[in-house]
Amino acid sequence: MSIIYLVGIGTIVNTAAVLAGGVIGYIFQRLLNDKLQKTIIQAIGVAVIFIGVAGVLSQMLVVKNGQISTHGTLMATISLVIGALIGELIDIDHQFVKLGDWLRRKVGAKSDSLFIEGFVSATLTICVGAMAIIGSLQDAINHDPTMLFTKAILDGVIVAIYAASFGVGAIFSSLPLFIFQMTITLLAVFIDQFLTTAMTNGISLVGSMMIFCIGINLLLDTKIRVANMLPGLLVVIGYVALM
């Protein structure tokens, strides 16, 4: 048990930071009126959009001999399209909503209309991306939780802002975060032998595009079903392996 605990310390700290940030944000929410909450949600949307854009550009732009070019466009397009098709068939978005609704009923927050939106948006923001995967692998294989410690700070701030706007639902994003990262950590030896640098870069690119879509949802109050795009993270691994 002590070995498992040592290996998973990065995820444990990450989860604790999300919980702490969420509680602080939820307490702060009581000081905000509806107008301020709407403005903060839009501000979160703008910030998340730029986080996504920065991640996309870091993977797509190539500077060589003073020339700027792009790569990975076809890979990202195919991965998102096929991933979305698979996601729609499975209807992952609906499963997230069902989980959020179950949690809402369990904590006695049936009248909280923002619970599910806060839970789903916060969960996708902190779980989608290369840091969650690579950090969990490093924690397990190299006994180096540094990346997850850094992610913990970022996630704590992000979830605090989500909780300040959406309420207690955002705090429960800590549950899927813990399960997702700890699963990767415990399966790291198996996963690491198949995951190349090109694959992790692809995950980062596609994941950043999904984060961009989350920001669009928040800013423009649209309903892009980002959760249904999640299989794209697996499709991009297959694409790199084949190509």
Domain parsing of the chain, residue ranges: 9-242
Q: According to the per-residue pLDDT averaged within each range, which of 59-68, 136-145, 163-172 is highest? A: 163-172
Query: 205: closest CA among 66, 75, 23?
Result: 75
Written as six digits, the tokens of 227 are: 């959760």
pLDDT at 166 over 70: yes
Q: Which two tokens stand for residue 217?
A: 């949802």
pLDDT of residue 2: 44
Query: What's the pTM value of the predicted model, to 2 decimals?
Result: 0.77
Which pLDDT does position 96 carry in this prediction? 86
Written as six digits, the tokens of 191 are: 């996963």
Q: Report the run of H or E that residue 168 belongs to, with start and end.
A: none
Residue 158 has a pLDDT of 87
- pLDDT of residue 173 exceeding 70, the answer is yes
Measured CA to CA, the distance from residue 111 to residue 205 in angstroms comes to 38
- The yes-or-no verdict on residue 108 having pLDDT over 80 is no
pLDDT at 221: 79
Express as a percent the part of the chain with pLDDT over 70.
96
Question: What is the model's pLDDT at position 103?
Answer: 87
**How many beta carbons lie within 10 A of that of residue 219, not counting itself?**
17
Average pLDDT over every residue of 76-81? 94
Helix axes 197-220, 34-60, angle to 10 degrees: 150
Residue 4 pLDDT: 44
Residues, the chain: 243
* pLDDT, tens digit (0-9, with 9 covering 90-100), for 183-216: 988 888 777 778 788 888 888 889 889 888 888 9
Q: Is the pLDDT of residue 18 over 90?
A: yes
Which pLDDT value is given to residue 6? 64
Instruction: Check: CB of residue 203 under 8 Å from CB of residue 133.
Output: yes
* Strand 67-70, strand 61-64: pairing: antiparallel
- Measured CA to CA, the distance from residue 65 to residue 53 in angstroms comes to 24
**What pLDDT score does 75 carry?**
93
**pLDDT exceeds cutoff 50 at 3:** no
Residues 6+ away with beta carbon under 8 Å from 89: none
Specify whether the CB–CB gap between 11 and 174 falls below 8 A.
Answer: no
User: Cα(170)–Cα(149) distance, rounded to whole angstroms?
Assistant: 20
Mean pLDDT of 3-32: 84
Average pLDDT of the residues in 219-234: 86
- Lowest average pLDDT, out of 4-13, 47-56, 85-94, 159-168, goes to 4-13
What is the residue whose two structure tokens read 């790569």? Answer: 71
Q: Whose structure tokens read 């996601």? A: 87
